[in-house]
Amino acid sequence: MDLELKDAVVLVTGASRGLGAAIALRLASEGARVVAAARSKGALDEVAGRGGGRISVIEADLRDERAVAGLADGVVDRHGRIDGLVNNAGIAPAGRFADQDPAVWKETMAVNVIAPMLLAQAAGRHMIAQGGGRIVNVASTTGVRGKPHLAGYSASKGAVVRLTEALAAEWAAKNVQVNCLAPGAFRTDAQRAVLDSPDLLERRVARIPARRIAEPDELVPLACLLVSPLSSFTTGAIFVVDGGESGKL
């Protein structure tokens, strides 16, 4: 299927590894001009080297509000427009809530909520002015159902879900679609502690009806479709991709 992404300009955050890298590479293979953003310049360059010349990089720390606010403008300065934004970057500090330092929450909210908000705001202005665009926010199943020892992460991803719905309703008439992916357990660095422990992995897989951890490429096609013009009547949707974990009784 042709996703009609040839020469579409898409900004992907957290694109140096895991889900972000996989999404950036597939978008490039579909013909998009991808701007990959993350903190690790070396890792970004490695991803760009696999992108067939269709991925450029921007080194950015999403805890820096000024830098975040200028990312979308930088993409437009470089390419003349911005057709898609994938807000993928995030952090997930774990810990017992009773003992957690408020500073951990502040950093989590800065990266997981404030940065996507600023990016959506800046990109959205350009999209409205140019006649449309698409935003995909990557949340988590913890944004749908909170998890113990991940209170801050759960709260931040829940905020991303509600932000998605609010922006979708506000911008639908402007031809800007805003949707959300809520992935479960994927084989990325975020699951490293589980993947490296046979006991933890066995217990984690036992909670998933599909009885396995997903590969990053299993989220990518849906992400690309939501960035594509083919999804022009899909907005405000939350797509849970977790092998049935959230839906089981």
CATH (domain of 34): 3.40.50.720
For residue 82, give its domain range: 9-183+219-241
pLDDT-derived band at 226 (thresholds 50, 70, 90) equals very high
- Please check whether residue 39 lies inside any domain of the structure: yes
88-109: average pLDDT? 94
Q: Quote the DSSP letter at residue 95.
A: -
Phi, psi angle pair for 56, to nearest 5° = -110, 165
Q: What is the pLDDT at residue 242?
A: 93
**Tens-digit pLDDT profile for residues 121-151:** 999 999 999 999 999 999 999 999 998 999 9
Residues in CB range of 133: below 8 A, 6 or more apart: 82, 83, 84, 85, 123, 124, 126, 127, 175, 176, 177
Per the model's pLDDT, the better-predicted residue between 203 and 116 turns out to be 116
Residues in CB range of 208: below 8 A, 6 or more apart: 184, 185, 242, 243, 244, 245
74-87: average pLDDT? 97
99-103: average pLDDT? 94
**Tens-digit pLDDT profile for residues 11-69:** 999 999 999 999 999 999 999 999 999 999 999 999 999 999 999 999 999 999 998 98
- Please check whether residue 167 lies inside any domain of the structure: yes
Domains in the chain, number: 1
Q: What is the pLDDT at residue 197?
A: 78
- Please check whether residue 190 lies inside any domain of the structure: no
pLDDT over 90, % of the chain = 85
65-85: average pLDDT? 95
- Please check whether residue 197 lies inside any domain of the structure: no
Q: 137: closest CA among 47, 13, 41?
A: 13
Question: How far is residue 59 from each of residues 12, 88, 157, measured CA to CA in Å?
Answer: 12, 15, 24
Phi, psi angle pair for 246, to nearest 5° = -70, -25
- Please check whether residue 53 lies inside any domain of the structure: yes
Q: What is the pLDDT at residue 248?
A: 64
Do 16 and 36 touch, CB atoms closer than 8 A?
yes
- Please check whether residue 15 lies inside any domain of the structure: yes
Do 221 and 176 touch, CB atoms closer than 8 A?
no
Whole-number Å distance between alpha carbons of 213 and 243: 8
Residue 249 has pLDDT above 60, yes or no: no
- Find where tokens 């009547």 sit: 233
Is pTM beyond 0.85 here?
A: yes
- Please check whether residue 44 lies inside any domain of the structure: yes
pLDDT-derived band at 165 (thresholds 50, 70, 90) equals very high
- Find where tokens 């589980």 sit: 194
Q: 159: closest CA among 146, 171, 148?
A: 146
- Please check whether residue 192 lies inside any domain of the structure: no
Average pLDDT along the chain: 94
Residues with active-site annotation: 153
**Type and span of the H or E element at 86:** strand 84-87
**Type and span of the H or E element at 139:** none
Question: How far is residue 37 from each of residues 16, 143, 196, measured CA to CA in Å?
Answer: 7, 23, 27
